[in-house]
Structure 1
Amino acid sequence: MSEQGTDAARRWTLRGAHTEYVVTVPAHGRWLELVAWGPHGVGNGPSPVAYDGPVPFLTAGDAAPIEYATDADRPFTGADLVVETMTGHRRVAFGFTEAAHDPAAGTLAVTFADPVTGLRAVLRYAVPAGADVVRRWVELTNTGNEPLRLARVGTGGFCVPTPHGALLSHQWGQWAQEFQLEHVDLKHGAFTIGSSQGVPGHLHVPWLAVRDGAEPDGPAWGVAVAWTGSWEITAERDTGGLTRIRAGRRLPDGPLELPARGTLTLPEVAGAYSTDGLDGLARVWHRYQRLLAGDRLVPRPVLYNSWEATYFAVDAKSQLELARIAADLGVETFVVDDGWFVGRNDDTAGLGDWTPDPAGFPDGFEAFIAEVRGLGLRFGLWVEPECVNPRSRLYAEHPDWVYQVDGRPLTPIRNQYLLDLGRPEVADFVHSTLDGLLRRYDIAYLKWDFNRPRTEPGRAGADGPLDLDGAHVTALHRIYDQLRRDHPDVLIESCAGGGARTDLAMAGRADIFWPSDNTAPMDRLAIQHGFLHANAPHLLSSWVTDAPGIFDPRPRSLAFRFVLAMAGVLGIGADIRHWTPQQRAEAAGWISRYKEIREVVTHGEVHLIGGPDQARCAVQYTSPDGRRVVVLAWHTGRSDGPGLLPSRPVRLPLRGLAPDARYRQGDQSYSGSHLSAVGLPVQWTPTHDADLIVLDRE
């Protein structure tokens, strides 16, 4: 239905489970702006973000809480959309034309048009039932007769009231050190994170949280980008106390061309709100990602991955030796990593030639998989289908399939090039390769890796500018969607040299994320702490290995490593052939305990307690019915002092419990009030540095 005309009719409210998002088109009709964003009822009163006062040396739009701004609306403080005509003219100016609002479905579409260029923009919103996340995207259509150049194509702006300064939280990193949570006190000016790598990247996560500086434990607003390519988030606080977050695509290769009568749909960005700070905001994102998973949200199997045990030396004999031990431990899925295909003795050759190596599997790959399956294990396989080694049959036959600039040398990274997935024949090859493997072999798990960013901004023989980033991401998503449709029982793990490909678009397609190649205990604790602020536990793949620390080398027990890996999807990556009988028995015990709690880890409400840099560090999972509470706790300090001198237990304050209820752990019974106000006691010693505690409501 359409709503237009009176000012009252040009105001719409999108309601989530606990929140509302209220927008309006002002009387002048030039833009859509935010009225209020927060808990139910927040829009019933004066807008906390509206401003109609003086704007010296600026325009009214530079100070207004605009939802989607062209450079005519915000010429000085940053636009979301910048459009050029073929003669170089800018300043597209929109006018409101119509809107369609369906409160029951939680959707809104508001249309604007520019009479000069013929550009039309439909601003689309959706709030999924049961969520407190506002999904936003924009559809641009060139109704004119001349092409247009899009110099900036952000998806939208989110406005947050920050009268006492903006406290920004983001996650930075590098390979082996992803998801490092950090906070920035933004008094004035702008803060920008992003990626130009054609992939979300290791350096920053496409996620940002904003709180008012005077209330760090109070309301929190979050923004995330659902785009598996180059992206950008910018937060800018003005002198009037408003912080506006621009989010969407970044264009590292220059402007896009929108031909006459052409249409472009910009990526989704999402906004989240919680009254309970960063911890509550994490739960909002968790609930949303569980909705994205749909009926695929089931506890993931315990897996073993052979990479750290055998590296490239993959053959049936060594893999079956590992598989037999893994099965005895209680592992459920056995994944053969890199090195299983022809020519792959190291990382310099073979990539692209996805045929099992007959030298490594002399009885045939089918027979090998059958033996693994005969142990009661599902079978999984590592692939990196978007990349190719120069020393491969595929590259010899199709050197034009990789990204390249005519006449310029190629840039090898990890001895490989990147396939141009935007070429239909390349996308068909990648899809048919993976589809063929899944149809021919009994594969239940696919680890899809991606070990290099895009460096060359070109395509062999191309005539004119291309949207390489957009074409690659679109093809990638399409292949994922096709594989999920045709092979619904196959779990897909998204990996990109660790955590370089984690975004909301992939959270709706991949079943699991590999957050880092770093599996050392203290390093991994910091990585997972950040990860769980933006991602749900069912997406967190974590392995128990024997890896020493890179950034924090303090040793930790096997128990610590298992409890840490239980925070998400439990896996093992160590060379278990060298574990002692005592270590194997301990591992089997932990795996058995994980199977008892993984339903709660998968579906439970998560509370993050403390952190890796604090004296207490734990994660609490409470089952949806409130009957079971699982607490994973880790000792973060020196391990050579606790228990040797007088001390009291560390207390972990639990959250969301019924104060009058009783919760039992073995012979010990606690009230909910005690666990919340005083905390659950844990006692660390030199040999006891982690704990799994299960509390059942009596």
Structure 2
Amino acid sequence: MSTTDRPLDRWVLRTATTVYAVGLGGDGEGDGPGAGIWPELAVWGPTGAEDGPSPLEWSRRTHFITPADLAPAEYIPHGLRPFNGADLIASRPGRERGVWWRFTEAHQEDDTALDLTFDDDVLGLRVTVRYATVPGTDVIHRWSELTCTGDETLRLERIDSAAVNVPVSAQGTRVTYLTGQWSQEFGFTQTQLTRGTLEFGSTQGAPGHAYAPWLAVQDAAHPDRGADSPTYGIALEWAGNWHMAVDAEPGGTVRVRAGRVPHEGAVLLAPGETLVTPKLACAFSPDGLDGLSRVWHRYERHLAGDRLTRRRPVLYNSWEATEFDVRADHQLTLARRAADLGAELFVVDDGWFTGRHDDTGGLGDWDPDPALFPQGFDHFIDDVRALGLDFGLWVEPEAVSPASKLYAEHPDWIYQLPHRTGRRVRNQLLLDLGREDVQEFVLGTLDRLLGRYDISYLKWDMNRPPTERGRPGPDTAESLDLDAAHVAGYLRVLDHLRARHPHVTVEGCAGGGGRIDHTTLARTDVVWPSDNTAPLDRLRIQYGYLHAHAPHTMSSWVTDAQGLFDPRPRSLAFRFVNAMTGVLGIGADLGTWSEEQLASAARWIARYKDIQDVVHHGDTYVLGSPDEPTFGVESVAPDGARVVVAALSTGRLDGSPLVPGRPDRLRLKGVDAGARYRDEADGKEYGGAHLRHVGLPFCWSAEHDAELMVLRRL
């Protein structure tokens, strides 16, 4: 259906279990009811919520402000919305800033997609606000397309993807978001916002370690967790510079603005060109933050497509055992031990290529160092595979060392500013992946490695952000749009890997969790949430990660690392149980492990293989938090037949037997209250209602700090 007139009162979009209804607000003069000139949210919530008046309806009375500044606008420019934060700021260079558009067209396909088009004939700009549901999920994509329809170039200072409106009570909103730094990513953070703005993001050319492009919004009057807490989630699908702003506005609404941040503050849009903003994924759950996490998990399984059925192998990575001291004989010794444990994949990390004796050289010259593999790299890989292991390799395709052959031949390929000295971060420079010739070099390098050698796993790392970000040539910074070009080049290479080398499992990494968003997750098989593998530090990282992302994407290693932030010792069992809530890997120096440790590790790996499908394909429930004495992660098989409970003691004990202590308990969430369940290890039976109301008991001690229980529904 397409029309230039306003159709029914609302356009309605439907997901698996939710509804999203949109109308038009304002009139031709910018205030009051009538022929609307901007899109407004009417209702967003469970199916049926559209049957009644909008919870965002308001009196329309204003003082010293315009109705557009208070409207629950889905997308609105500076000009129409002059005071409370616009989603789009555009101008002709040297002229007035602002867009005063008119609604011109709507196009809806069933209840799964909607396009609303607005035109500013004076400025020469057409804006199409787009909506699309994601099949089989409760996620709606929101984005905008901007076309220069005039004969003058436009300057775009703000190009957000969309705005998301949430009705709240007088108590304001509770915002949950993920914060941190290198080695402390995905920190679960909550802020109560009654009035004002909370804004965060990254200008590091990647999502960054400090914040994730994800947040959740709840009415502060509701409990922060629980089945009666409607929760709205927003995630920006962009691997470059970005921002999110949460505005607690007058009148009791919360408005979230999100989008990419243009390099050097603006981009130019030439006549006839169209700029497409990144997609904003919007999700709703009536079941609190824990329920929202399962909406995101199902969405990321959708993103994986057919590759979801690909079993993530148990890997061993040799970095912590050897660092840059890579030698074929030592690597094979580690590989034999890993194979004896039941590992399925051996990954050689940094240090395998020519000139890479430390972090000062080698990057860009991606040839195996013959001195390290005297019988040849092919022979070395054959020896690893003869142990029953697949083979994987670490690469950092965007980086270059100043002493490399690549830099000597192509000094113009790095980001640089004229008459300025480029800074070295981690003793390296960064290639301008937005250049087509650089992309072709990276594609050729990866094709050569994956075509020549029997490699089934590739770990892609990025260990520095761009600093002096320019490109030699006559173009201006605004006309280059370097951030978008780099993202496009990065995604092109990942898409090529999927198409050309579908057998290769790809792990995404950026100094840990510095580049994790849905565009990366849609093109990789796993990601590396953090370089910090210490047990209690990692517990907090994974707690935050699982609120936003699915277990099948979360690479998690067992190592000997000591805590940077919480150094309390934890058992090998604790490290394994924690790692088994994601994609299990081993990163310790197996040459230092005792026979008892090796035997224990083999038993844990065997148990992981038995439950892996439940963890990766089932529903995940987070039980408590790392601030409580007992923390757990519950995984329920898609058919409900098996329930896996990973229980972890965070440190506080009950004092028994010297005092009358009682076992700590985890109340399960995903079990059927009317069913019975049997512990597969000891045969003990529990009623589902008991598991939900009373819970499983755990008696912790300094030596016993973790358990993995598997229950089968009878």
Question: What TM-score comes out, normalization by structure 1 length?
Answer: 0.98
In the TM superposition, what is the alpha-carbon distance from 1:107 to its structure 2 partner?
Answer: 1.5
SS at match of 1:454: coil
Mean Cα deviation higher: 111-120 or 307-316: 111-120
* Residues 1:528 and 2:542 are matched in the alignment: yes
| Cα distance between partner residues in 1 of 2:50 and 2:652 | 50
* Residues 1:207 and 2:207 are matched in the alignment: no
Match of 1:343 among 344, 349, 355: 355
* Residues 1:508 and 2:514 are matched in the alignment: no
Mean Cα deviation higher: 671-680 or 116-125: 116-125
Matched with 1:225 is: 236
Report if the CA contact (8 A) 2:654-2:661 is conserved: no
How far does the alpha carbon of each residue in 1:440-477 deviate from its partner, in whole angstroms, 9 at most, with x for none? 11111100000001111211224212100000001111
* Residues 1:286 and 2:319 are matched in the alignment: no
Give the alignment of 1:389-468 within 5 angstroms.
Answer: 389-465=401-477, 466-468=480-482
SS at match of 1:73: coil
Match of 2:136 among 130, 147, 155: 130
In the TM superposition, what is the alpha-carbon distance from 1:239 to its structure 2 partner?
Answer: 2.0
* Residues 1:149 and 2:155 are matched in the alignment: yes
SS at match of 2:54: coil
* AA in 2 matched with 1:434: L
In the TM superposition, what is the alpha-carbon distance from 1:7 to its structure 2 partner?
Answer: 4.4
Matched with 1:546 is: 560
Mean Cα deviation higher: 27-36 or 625-634: 27-36
Q: Structure 2 regions of 5+ residues with no counterpart?
A: 26-33
Matched with 1:297 is: 308
How far does the alpha carbon of each residue in 1:281-327 deviate from its partner, in whole angstroms, 9 at most, with x for none? 11111110110001111331100001000000112111111111100
Matched with 1:189 is: 196
* Residues 1:275 and 2:291 are matched in the alignment: no
* Residues 1:695 and 2:701 are matched in the alignment: no
Matched with 1:2 is: 2
Matched with 1:161 is: 167
Matched with 1:377 is: 389
Matched with 1:49 is: 56
In the TM superposition, what is the alpha-carbon distance from 1:94 to its structure 2 partner?
Answer: 1.8
| Cα distance between partner residues in 2 of 1:491 and 1:7 | 48
Give the alignment of 1:356-371 within 5 angstroms.
Answer: 356-371=368-383
In the TM superposition, what is the alpha-carbon distance from 1:508 to its structure 2 partner?
Answer: 0.8
SS at match of 2:72: coil
Matched with 1:671 is: 687
| Cα distance between partner residues in 2 of 1:156 and 1:538 | 29
In the TM superposition, what is the alpha-carbon distance from 1:638 to its structure 2 partner?
Answer: 4.1
* AA in 2 matched with 1:112: F
| Cα distance between partner residues in 1 of 2:653 and 2:571 | 10
Q: Number of matched residues?
A: 696
Mean Cα deviation higher: 625-634 or 215-224: 215-224
Matched with 2:532 is: 518
| Cα distance between partner residues in 1 of 2:543 and 2:7 | 46
Report if the CA contact (8 A) 2:167-2:254 is conserved: yes
Give the alignment of 1:28-39 within 5 angstroms.
Answer: 28-39=35-46
Matched with 1:265 is: 276
| Cα distance between partner residues in 2 of 1:616 and 1:241 | 37
How far does the alpha carbon of each residue in 1:112-169 deviate from its partner, in whole angstroms, 9 at most, with x for none? 1111122111111111121111111111111110000001111110000111311011
Report if the CA contact (8 A) 1:411-1:456 is conserved: yes
* AA in 2 matched with 1:521: P
Report if the CA contact (8 A) 2:461-2:508 is conserved: yes
Rate the CA distance shift 1:603–1:523 in 2: closer, same or farther, 3 A.
Answer: same
| Cα distance between partner residues in 1 of 2:656 and 2:441 | 58
| Cα distance between partner residues in 1 of 2:708 and 2:660 | 24
Mean Cα deviation higher: 349-358 or 427-436: 427-436
Question: What TM-score comes out, normalization by structure 2 length?
Answer: 0.96
| Cα distance between partner residues in 2 of 1:629 and 1:643 | 31
SS at match of 1:413: coil
* AA in 1 matched with 2:494: Y
How far does the alpha carbon of each residue in 1:22-67 deviate from its partner, in whole angstroms, 9 at most, with x for none? 1012443311110000000111111111334211111111000111
Match of 2:508 among 489, 494, 515: 494
| Cα distance between partner residues in 2 of 1:463 and 1:540 | 41
Report if the CA contact (8 A) 2:321-2:589 is conserved: yes
| Cα distance between partner residues in 1 of 2:686 and 2:37 | 59
| Cα distance between partner residues in 2 of 1:4 and 1:676 | 54
| Cα distance between partner residues in 2 of 1:90 and 1:643 | 73
Mean Cα deviation higher: 85-94 or 584-593: 85-94
| Cα distance between partner residues in 1 of 2:498 and 2:243 | 29
| Cα distance between partner residues in 2 of 1:511 and 1:173 | 24
SS at match of 1:325: helix
| Cα distance between partner residues in 2 of 1:136 and 1:603 | 27
In the TM superposition, what is the alpha-carbon distance from 1:640 to its structure 2 partner?
Answer: 10
Match of 1:95 among 90, 97, 102: 102
How far does the alpha carbon of each residue in 1:598-645 deviate from its partner, in whole angstroms, 9 at most, with x for none? 000010101101111112210000001011000001001247956654
* Residues 1:485 and 2:484 are matched in the alignment: no
* AA in 2 matched with 1:16: T
How far does the alpha carbon of each residue in 1:557-580 deviate from its partner, in whole angstroms, 9 at most, with x for none? 000000011010000000001111
| Cα distance between partner residues in 2 of 1:6 and 1:321 | 72
In the TM superposition, what is the alpha-carbon distance from 1:681 to its structure 2 partner?
Answer: 1.3
Match of 1:684 among 696, 700, 712: 700
| Cα distance between partner residues in 2 of 1:57 and 1:326 | 69
Rate the CA distance shift 1:634–1:598 in 2: closer, same or farther, 3 A.
Answer: same
Match of 2:126 among 120, 124, 128: 120
SS at match of 2:264: coil
* AA in 1 matched with 2:378: E
Matched with 2:115 is: 109
Matched with 2:29 is: none
| Cα distance between partner residues in 2 of 1:13 and 1:579 | 60
| Cα distance between partner residues in 2 of 1:657 and 1:102 | 38
Matched with 2:615 is: 601
| Cα distance between partner residues in 1 of 2:256 and 2:362 | 44
| Cα distance between partner residues in 1 of 2:61 and 2:133 | 35
Identity value in percent: 55
| Cα distance between partner residues in 1 of 2:474 and 2:384 | 47
In the TM superposition, what is the alpha-carbon distance from 1:87 to its structure 2 partner?
Answer: 2.5
| Cα distance between partner residues in 2 of 1:5 and 1:20 | 24
* Residues 1:473 and 2:458 are matched in the alignment: no
* Residues 1:11 and 2:10 are matched in the alignment: yes
Match of 1:613 among 602, 607, 627: 627
SS at match of 2:294: helix
Matched with 1:321 is: 333
Report if the CA contact (8 A) 2:263-2:481 is conserved: no
Matched with 1:21 is: 20
Report if the CA contact (8 A) 1:172-1:203 is conserved: yes
Report if the CA contact (8 A) 1:642-1:684 is conserved: no
Matched with 1:242 is: 253
Report if the CA contact (8 A) 1:51-1:63 is conserved: no
